[in-house]
A and B are shown apart, each in its own frame.
Chain A
Amino acid sequence: MTEPLLTIENLILALPQGADRPHAVDDVSLSVAANEIVCLVGESGSGKSMIAHTILGLLPAKVRVESGAVRFGGRDLLALPAAEMRALRGSDIAMIFQEPQTALNPLKRVGAQVAEAIRTHDPAAGREATSLRVRELFEQVGLPDPRTLVSAYPFQLSGGQRQRVMIAMALANNPSLLIADEPTTALDVTTQRQILDLIRSLQAARGMGVLFITHDIGVVADIADRVVVLRRGRVVEQGPARTVLNQPREDYTRQLLDAVPGRGTLRRAKEDAEPLLEIRGLQKTFITRQGFFSPPRRVVAAEALDLRLHRGETLAVVGESGSGKSTLARMVLRLIEADDGDILFAGQSVRAMGREALRQFRRCAQIVFQDPYASLDPRRKVGESISFGPMAHGVPRAEAERLARQWLERVGLTSQAADRFPHEFSGGQRQRICIARALALEPSLLIADEAVSALDVSVQAQILALLAELKEEMNLSMLFITHDLRVAREIADTIVVMRAGKIVEQNGAEALFAAPRSDYARSLLAAVPGKDFFERASARPAASMPASGAQSG
């Protein structure tokens, strides 16, 4: 191996006073060579993005480089004058970001934004030459119809197309190093697959060095030549991808690998039990009126949905964004009213329920939402948020409060947590509180709407385990909404795949993974990151699950 493209040596980044730790990044050394993809993997707060930003000199003002060096092409980037650093940005070193939605200027045409990148570093470039080059780039990144697309605005593009534009912009000046900061995290799984393939092929074609930052071990498995595992600002382990993934030396790496969902034993659907929830011909179209005369916008969220959830069963509804899966969950609880069709809960029509009947029904059917930050009232103590439920059903205040404390302990928190406010808890802890809130009403049906999607993998694994455990204990039935097939596989007996408001496939988990009946399910399965690796790995005995109920969640 020749001289590496990028070398980071003993980098220490100091956080401002009052942060949870003194150093965002503590003594990190790594290198990226030409023509290789180095994955920087870690959970949230591991400092991986900080490292990326340090390279380009884009650190927020509060964070200070305490010591260390970042060498690129023989120069220490940390000591480079501002003008030279600027000349490097976007030309020799380019970067793409996580949120293509916000990373592009919403008010400028995408073509102009790419052209700007070219002209910034080559002021002499003519108009014609530049626009030609932009179209070339658009073609290279696989954007359809570049000629018209260059004059589109970001909001007119899909998420994947935006990310392709970002990549085109990054490649505009033929960088030797590309830094990709979670470039696929905000994308649907099939789109993620395409973008990963694109980065891979472009890298290979151009011989670029790529520093790829991700939290997803699956993605690492798919793309990395070498891996650097980061935890709380420190390098845990680094080495060639194959070695690190197959023979992890460190416990943490192993934990990360084990936490990846969808590798447990498959469950078998219990066909024989009676249905608790039955949905027939459910219909919902969202119509947004824009005026008296303009045609209303119609979005079909549910079209003739039929499904059954048996007692004690876990049914996962899987689909990409916009498939209508969350609307389905809300329609069951009548948080959104359906247009047509029937929802039967234990034989009773939910849609026909009056106010009081609905109240009683909701007691039996509880929900846990995706965003643990939005789903707790920031101005109420956690204990109150839980105890209001039983109180609404006639439980005396003191008893309700006792129940709240009891449930907090049950989901792995202390009973003192009841007296604290939501902002004092981490995301995983909040999700535990939400589960406690839902279960305090002793429901028979629990709806989990992307309940683990916002969490780090290790926490995700813990929450999934907790849910599984509680489900057994309380004989719950669960409607589990997720975009992640791996999670569905982890927890579900039956899986329903939705796309654009329609059910594409309804199948036992085992059957679906073994032999998907629909093309769409097949493409979803194929797109799961790290699929090949884990399939190979699952041939070997799986590492043990971490214990549930840990306070660290």
Chain B
Amino acid sequence: MMHALRLLLGRVTGIAFAILAIATINFVLVHSAPGDPALVIAGQSGATDAKFIEQVRADYGLDRPYLVQLGTYLGKVVQLDLGYSYRQRRAVSELILERLGPTLLLTLSAFVLSLVGGVLFGALAGRRHGSWSDLTISMMALLFYATPVFWLGLMLVLVFSIQLEWLPAFGYSNMRSGTFGTFDQAVDVARHLVLPAVTLSAIYMAVYTRLMRSSLIEVQHEDHVRTARAKGLTEAAILRHHMLRNAAVPVITFAGLQAGALIGGAVVVETVFAWPGLGRLTFEAVTARDYPVLLGLFLVTSILVIAVNLLTDLLHRLIDPRVVTR
């Protein structure tokens, strides 16, 4: 118990350090950009008034020295205050919070989908190593691995939304469904989720399929599988009880590392599918040079990545007892 507590404590301080470091890097990165944010607000309001620009600058502290801005920012981060968006005229934490749900829904379902699909297909291919099904799955995995995400999204929209009219092409929910019962809304959101989630998961599913396949092939030759065979287990039982889980361990470890990439991919997918999540907010903030939002976003996405890492770690611990005390 003490041990677990200490482990947790170590984890938390590690994360805190990482977050502060990321916060600093982000701040420096974003603030070295050319472009005066005051001007953007002014320009977009159709302003031709220098006084107005000065006012904006004063309002958002952009006239203060760089280091003071950084210090203020870090201080606020510690207090979980992510600042105020001058473009959106709202607290950054509020903006992020309301976009967090859809992104979590999208990335987590894509994560689960890719993992489950990858493990399933990879197992199928690895089990019948060298067979036609293996060849087909491997080839598909290679193709999906090489397909640009945005391109795949477009093709899916073309086929499933425009040609077949099965699924909505974009958005998070049909806005009228919000007024009905929660079940209707859940179904509605689920229908909107299908295409973006499939698009986002495709490349990772391909990666996990390939990984699972080679992992399974490797496991097949391990001694404990021979032991299981010597015990008289059927091949199906061996696959289920002695190969799948063992082969999935490296896949899950790897999946944790991919969390950052997954959120990066969400930017493209959310833009293509008009999914109202953090990814789209990121792109909007980059084009609008919305500094506070960008800073907040990078922080939150990084925390998300760390969270996913923790989650996979947990999953890893769950299926691999060796990790706990190691």
Contacts and interface: CB of A to CB of B under 8 A. Distances in A.
Interface of A: 56, 58, 86-91, 94-95, 97, 99, 102-109, 116-117, 120-121, 153, 155-156, 166, 169, 290-295
Contact of A86 (B10, B232, B241, B320): B232
A89 B229 contact: yes
A22 B267 CA distance: 60
Contact of B246 (A87, A97, A106, A292): A106
Given A102-B222, A116-B241, A294-B6, A107 B230 contact: no
Given A102-B224, A116-B241, A107 B232 contact: no
B322 A58 contact: no
B226 A58 contact: yes
Contacts of A103: 223-224, 226-227
A245 B242 CA distance: 42
12 contacts: A86-B234, A89-B229, A102-B222, A105-B227, A105-B241, A106-B224, A107-B321, A117-B232, A169-B231, A290-B10, A292-B9, A292-B10
Contacts of B224: 102-106
B10 A107 contact: no
Nearest to B221: A60
B237 interface: yes
Given A56-B230, A88-B232, 14 more contacts: A86-B233, A87-B232, A99-B223, A102-B223, A103-B223, A104-B224, A104-B227, A106-B246, A106-B320, A290-B10, A291-B6, A293-B10, A293-B13, A294-B3
B-side interface size class: 20 to 34
Contact of A120 (B226, B237, B321): B237
Contacts of B320: 106-107
Nearest to A173: B232
Contacts of B319: 107
Contacts of A292: 9-10, 13-14
B231 A90 contact: yes
A294 B12 CA distance: 13
B245 to A, nearest CB: 5
Contact of B223 (A97, A107, A108, A169): A97
Contacts of A104: 224, 227
Contacts of A105: 224, 227-228, 241-242, 246
B246 to A, nearest CB: 6
A231 B136 CA distance: 45
Of B230, B237, B241, the most chain A CB neighbours within 10 A belong to B230
A165 to B, nearest CB: 11
B268 interface: no
Contacts of A293: 6-7, 9-10, 13
A58 B226 CA distance: 8
B222 A94 contact: no
Given A104-B227, A105-B246, A293-B9, A121 B232 contact: yes
A56 B11 CA distance: 49
Of B3, B231, B325, the most chain A CB neighbours within 10 A belong to B231
Contact of B231 (A108, A117, A291): A117
B211 to A, nearest CB: 17
B288 interface: no
B249 interface: yes
Contacts of A90: 230-233
Given A89-B229, A155-B321, A107 B245 contact: yes
A291 B7 contact: yes
A97 B7 contact: no
Interface in B205-239: 222-224, 226-234, 237
B247 to A, nearest CB: 10
B1 to A, nearest CB: 13
Nearest to B224: A105
Contacts of B233: 86, 90, 116, 120
Nearest to A155: B322
Contacts of A58: 226, 229-230
A108 B242 CA distance: 8
A89 B6 contact: no
A169 B3 CA distance: 33
Given A107-B249, A155-B321, A95 B10 contact: no
Contacts of A108: 241-242
A103 B3 CA distance: 30
B230 A95 contact: yes
Nearest to A153: B321
B235 to A, nearest CB: 9
Given A103-B223, A106-B246, A116-B241, A94 B7 contact: no
Contact of A94 (B226, B230, B246, B249): B230
Of A106, A121, A292, A293, the most chain B CB neighbours within 10 A belong to A293
In the A-B complex, the 8 residue pairs with the smallest Cβ-Cβ separation, listed nearest first, are A291-B10, A90-B232, A89-B232, A90-B231, A102-B223, A293-B6, A153-B321, A293-B10
Of A99, A116, A156, A166, the most chain B CB neighbours within 10 A belong to A116
A153 B231 contact: no
A494 B242 CA distance: 49
Contacts of A295: 6
